[in-house]
């Protein structure tokens, strides 16, 4: 695997609690988290939240953007 893949794997390991939380939310909405279209969704959501909240106040920019939609 490449350095980027290894870096992503390490980052994903730190998201395990969030991934599990997203699974709980999906299940509470009646979704089957084993369904083909949802298998990778919890990790994608966790990565999106991680990206939106890391670094130079990205969460502020995310909220600001969403508030104008």
pLDDT of residue 13: 80
User: Higher-confidence residue: 62 or 12?
Assistant: 12
pTM: 0.66
Nearest in space to 42 (alpha carbons), one of 8, 9, 11, 15: 15
- Using CA atoms, how far residue 34 sits from 3, 6, 38, 45, in Å, is 30, 25, 7, 16
Q: With 80 as the cut, is the pLDDT of residue 64 above it?
A: no
User: What percent of the chain has pLDDT above 90?
Assistant: 38
């Amino acid at each position: 695997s490449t350095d980027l893949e290894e870096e992503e794997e390490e980052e994903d390991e730190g998201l395990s609690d969030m991934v599990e939380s997203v699974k709980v939310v999906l299940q509470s909405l009646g979704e089957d988290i084993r369904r083909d279209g949802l298998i990778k969704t919890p990790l994608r959501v966790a990565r999106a939240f991680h990206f939106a909240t890391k670094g130079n106040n990205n969460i502020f920019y995310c909220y600001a953007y969403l508030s104008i939609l």
